[in-house]
Structure formats: structure tokens, C-alpha cells
Amino acid sequence: MELLYYIGFFVLGILLGSFYGVVGMRMPVNESFIKGRSHCDKCHHELSFIDLIPLLSFAMSGGRCRYCGKKISAILPLTELACGILFMVSYYSFGISLDLVLALSIVSLLMIVLVSDLTYFIIPDEVLLFFSIEFIIIQIFRVGFLSTLGHIGCGMFLFALMYLILVIGNKLFKKESMGGADVKLMFLFGLVLDPLLGTITIFLGSFFALPISMIIYYINKDRVIPFGPFLVLAFLFMFFVKISTAEILYFLGI
């Protein structure tokens, strides 16, 4: 029976991952992700049902469009696979609970941010607003109304902290050091984490981004590195490890 749950969450993950990929590809360019048929980004030929089966379509076509023969971006199938795996991990970590609902929401945010920020260097405000509202609703049921108000205050603190880092970074590098959406992301993190864990998430995101940034900088010094995906990945990690501020303070001897 337990195996069926894992299979079910994996299948749900790849199906929703396919949808999140479409959202991440279309929303930044103001294209509807609800209306209109899916099409090849190269030749714009409408895709049939067999072209839209998550993971299998990409594998069966050899990663190429069946109509024009051009290569298909691997971002979407990788998003589907990652979403399926992370949905399974979420169920393994939290079981059927409100924590699971929150974990799946964080994974969903990560998938959309990955596609949109890696493709366009944009995280649409509509995405941030939607998940802000969703996190607040989940938190009201999960920790109560008063605690949720405290998390909203934490979100404001982390937003201000990230904005300060942005200002300092811009002055040090004499150019835009990160996007405004990265600052707005911190408000979402505060809706789940406390100030200390949220602050650690910023540095953890930088740690995740550092090796990738060094490799890309070595290959192409002019290449811009999106920070958003690394921030959300660090956020997801902090939530999954279930570490508390009290445990961190105890470890530090405070």
C-alpha cells in the first residue's frame, strides 16, 4: 500500500511538473498558460496528445520536435522528473499532513522559479503573490492565526534584510547584483521560516550558487547567473531538514 502512495505522488509530481514548466515558460512573456494549444517553441506546430506525455514524449522523440526535427530544451523534462522525485521525498519526509501540503507548495514554487528564472531571468510577480497567499492560508491552518501574523512580520524583516544586501551589493560591484524578485522571495521564506533560519537560507543559497557561478564565469564572464533558483532550493532544504532555531543556538552554545 505504501508503494502505491510513492508511485501516486511521483505521477502527480511529473504531471504537475509539466504544468509548472508551461507556467514558467509562458507567464514571463505574457502568454496564457490556460488557453491555447501547446506548440513547439521552434516551429510553432501544435502538439498532439502523444507529444505531451510527461517524460515519455521527450524520450520517445529523442529530445527533438517530431515536426521540425530541432532539439527540444531539456529544462521541461528535467522539471517534470525533479518535481516527481521531490513530491515522493515530500511524502517520505512528512507523510499525510499539513507539513506535506506546505512541502509540495514549496516544491511547486521551486519548479516555476527554475523554469522562468533560468529561461528569462524573470520571476513573475503573479507567481510570488499567488504563493504568498497560499503559504499564508496553509500557515493559518498549520500554526494558527497569531503565529501566522508573526511569520508575516518575519517576511517583512527578511525582505528588508535582502533589500539591504541588494543595495550594498550594487554599490560594491557598481552594477545590479541581484534581481528585485530575489528580494521579494524572502518575504515568502519568512512566511515559513523564522528570522534566523531565513537569514541562514540566504547564505546557504549563496553557497549553492558559488560553484555553479564559478564554472559559468570561467566559461563566459558576461553570463548572468540567476540567483532565485538557488534561494528557493536552499529554502526547500531548510524546510526538509526540520532544523529549529533552538537547535542551532544550542549547537553554537548560545
Please tell me the predicted confidence (pLDDT) of residue 118. Answer: 86
Residue 12 pLDDT > 90: yes
pLDDT at 74: 78
Name the more confident of 179 and 220: 179
Q: What percent of the chain shows pLDDT beyond 70? A: 82
CB 248: neighbour CB atoms within 10 A? 13
Question: According to the model, what pLDDT value does residue 225 have?
Answer: 76
- Spell out the domain ranges in the chain: 1-122, 124-254
Residue 251 CA to residue 180 CA, distance in Å, equals 34
| Helix, strand or coil, per DSSP, at residue 210 | helix
Predicted confidence at residue 245, as pLDDT, reads 82
Stretch 223-243: mean pLDDT, rounded?
87
Q: Is 201 in contact with 235 (CB distance < 8 Å)?
A: yes
Distance, in Å, from the CA atom of 243 to the CA atom of 254, rounded to the nearest integer, reads 16
pLDDT-based confidence at 49, cuts 50/70/90?
Answer: low
Query: Tell me: the pLDDT tens digits for 142-154?
Result: 999 999 999 999 9
Cβ–Cβ < 8 Å for 162, 186 = yes
